[in-house]
Amino acid sequence: MSRKDRLSGNEAVATAIRQIEPDVMPAFPITPSTEIPQFVSNFIANGRMDTEFIPVESEHSAMSAAIGASAAGARVVSATSSAGLAYMWEELHLAASNRLPIVLALVNRALSGPININADHSDGMGARDTGWIQLYSENNQEAYDNFIMAYPIAEDERVHLPVMVCQDGFITSHAVENILMEEDVDVKKFVGKYEPKHFLLNDKEPMAVGPYSVTNYYFEARRAQEEAILRAYDVVREVQDRFNNAFGRKYDFIEEYRMEDADYAVVIMGSAAGTMKAYIDTLRDRGERIGLIKVRLFRPFPAKEISHALRHTKAVAIMDRAQSFSGHGGPLSAEVLRGMYLGKNKAEVINYTYGLGGRDLLTEHAESILEDLKEAVRYEGVERPYRYVGVRE
């Protein structure tokens, strides 16, 4: 049975880790994810969980140790942020290409430079093409729930890929919210026991992990990864449905908020979705037909679902908390636009970059976005499709 508690996002994730009780946690501290391994190490020291904690000398070493432990057949977890994830970059590809179901708590933080320790999605978006599944969390409850769902997704034989569970640094990681927690026994039952079929310490099946792949094999290995990502759609949906049946909280690839008759829509990820929902309620009270789509599953990307949700809209604002430096908008925009194109969606689109380095998204920003969308419909086009909101020009 669910019980009420008040926890920060980092505490909630650390509690989920305690309840799941992975075999190994290699980790290196970096703001704002440092609290997660700190909480876990305290749980271990106090005898509340039986996990081998490995203090390492860097994030590169943390992911290297995670790869070794996972290849040996252990259930593994780690946590990092920002430059820590960037330092793992080589190992992220190895974890995915070796098909190791590691789960990583990523507390999203701006990448240098200039140096900044606050929230944006630069780190997660920088790793979007490393082969990891990515789940983004709006609030502390979702960070906790996503973490519980991550292992059944990662460890499913149809997938066997690593998963990042993302939440916004400080905004959710350090803010305390009322959330529903599940009993330890129920979480363990939902996640299940990890019983890999192929692993290095199985003396009945000698094998190698990460061998050199010559030209005759490399291409096929990468294609196999893509097939696993495609199969992940079904697995994520199955795990979501099972979670809803077990705990009564419903999740999907995307969340449609007040989209039933929306002429205008905002597409967004992470904690700022809550800000936009609150203001959309205000606009609805004024008679404005506007809704929101929150993207929870970013990899694999739910292009069909988003395009379908936007099929009746006249104009769409796509909100990026990261820059691609492509000259053509941000990473979320690129994904959504491709889905809309393939779905033959003809809505006007404006891509906004917002919230970099922890900058707040304010209600007056939402007001200006709605006016921009109305203008795009009125003039049947968008003169500046890539814009900033909340920046000093």
> Which pLDDT belongs to residue 363?
84
Residues 103 and 148 sit within 8 Å (Cβ to Cβ): no
Record the pTM: 0.97
Question: Beta strands 315-320 and 348-353: pairing type?
Answer: parallel
> Which pLDDT belongs to residue 211?
86
> Half-sphere exposure of residue 55, counting CA atoms within 13 Å on the CB side?
6
Going by C-alpha positions, the residue among 253, 319, 315, 257 that lies closest to residue 291 is 257
By CB atoms closer than 10 A (0-12, 13-18, 19+), residue 190 is buried
- DSSP bridge pairs for 290: 264
Q: Tokens in use for 281?
A: 């309620």
Q: From the centroid of its chain, how far is CA 23?
A: 23
Grouping H, G, I as helix, E, B as strand and the rest as coil, residue 265 is strand
Q: From the centroid of its chain, how far is CA 261?
A: 28
DSSP string, 359-383: PPP-HHHHHHHHHHHHHHHHTTS-S
Residues 109 and 80 sit within 8 Å (Cβ to Cβ): no
Q: How far apart are CA 272 and CA 381, in angstroms?
A: 27
Going by C-alpha positions, the residue among 252, 247, 260, 254 that lies closest to residue 273 is 254
In the numeric block, the tokens 């006007």 are attached to 348
> Half-sphere exposure of residue 120, counting CA atoms within 13 Å on the CB side?
26
Residues 118 and 110 sit within 8 Å (Cβ to Cβ): yes
Q: Tokens in use for 84?
A: 């820590």
> Which pLDDT belongs to residue 42?
98
In the numeric block, the tokens 């009746």 are attached to 312
pLDDT tens, per residue, the chain with 393 residues: 899 999 999 999 999 999 999 999 999 999 999 999 999 999 999 999 999 999 999 999 999 999 999 999 999 999 999 999 999 999 999 999 999 999 999 999 999 989 999 999 999 999 999 999 999 999 999 999 999 999 999 999 999 999 999 999 999 999 999 999 999 999 999 999 999 999 999 999 999 998 899 999 999 999 999 999 999 999 999 999 999 999 999 999 999 999 999 999 999 999 999 999 999 999 999 999 999 999 999 999 999 999 999 999 999 999 999 999 999 999 999 999 999 999 999 999 999 999 999 999 998 898 999 999 999 999 999 999 999 999 998
